[in-house]
Chains A and B, each alone.
Chain A
Amino acid sequence: TQLLEQSPQFLSIQEGENLTVYCNSSSVFSSLQWYRQEPGEGPVLLVTVVTGGEVKKLKRLTFQFGDARKDSSLHITAAQPGDTGLYLCAGASQGTSYGKLTFGQGTILTVHP
């Protein structure tokens, strides 16, 4: 069974601070996706990383896929209250003919003004 461990589970910071969320597994994934979810709504895809060592930037968000494709991180620079939400990482299984995603438990981020 593939597992994705996300940390920290909760993060409460002040506006303007930087933060990093980690997503780790002992399994290799063909790709890893990051989602943001607001209460009562569906997860919204932020980014997909596919290549080991890949770094993608989305405004103040920087996503990195580990060289071995077992881990990923999300770094937010100068966090804003609008960044508040549940952040989920999800891995796509390698070498399969289906698209099951394994999700981490999520990180609840609260950014205080």
Chain B
Amino acid sequence: DSGVTQTPKHLITATGQRVTLRCSPRSGDLSVYWYQQSLDQGLQFLIQYYNGEERAKGNILERFSAQQFPDLHSELNLSSLELGDSALYFCASSVGISGETQYFGPGTRLLVL
């Protein structure tokens, strides 16, 4: 158990819908990272928040957004969902901003039908 929690574990929805994925980092970790894992693209970095502020963006679509709240939990919002958004979404956390040691949650498996 990494100490990072993610909910829900599974999510099935339809195209065009909007979903919210939630992540609670390890106790004491200030950075939260979101990654998408698909069979063809591998594990891709989406976005990083540090102590409530956005620090880095990867290949995150405009239809996707995230935020980190004062209690340091984070949410990833995916809207206007397409079939190609079906993937595993992972949250990771680290103590500092440099992210040299990141601990991953169990992931949310999203299936868009």
Contact = CB atoms under 8 A, between A and B. Distances in A.
Interface residues of B, number: 30
Given A43-B104, A99-B98, A100-B48, 13 more contacts: A42-B2, A42-B104, A42-B105, A43-B43, A44-B2, A45-B104, A88-B43, A92-B99, A97-B55, A98-B99, A99-B56, A99-B94, A106-B43
Contacts of B88: 40
A101 B45 contact: yes
10 contacts: A35-B104, A42-B4, A92-B100, A97-B97, A98-B55, A98-B98, A99-B50, A100-B33, A105-B42, A106-B43
Contacts of A33: 100-102
B101 A42 contact: no
Contacts, number: 83
Interface residues of A, number: 26
A103 interface: yes
Interface of B: 2, 4, 31, 33, 42-45, 48, 50, 55-56, 58, 88, 90, 92, 94, 96-107, 109
A104 B56 CA distance: 19
Contacts of A84: none
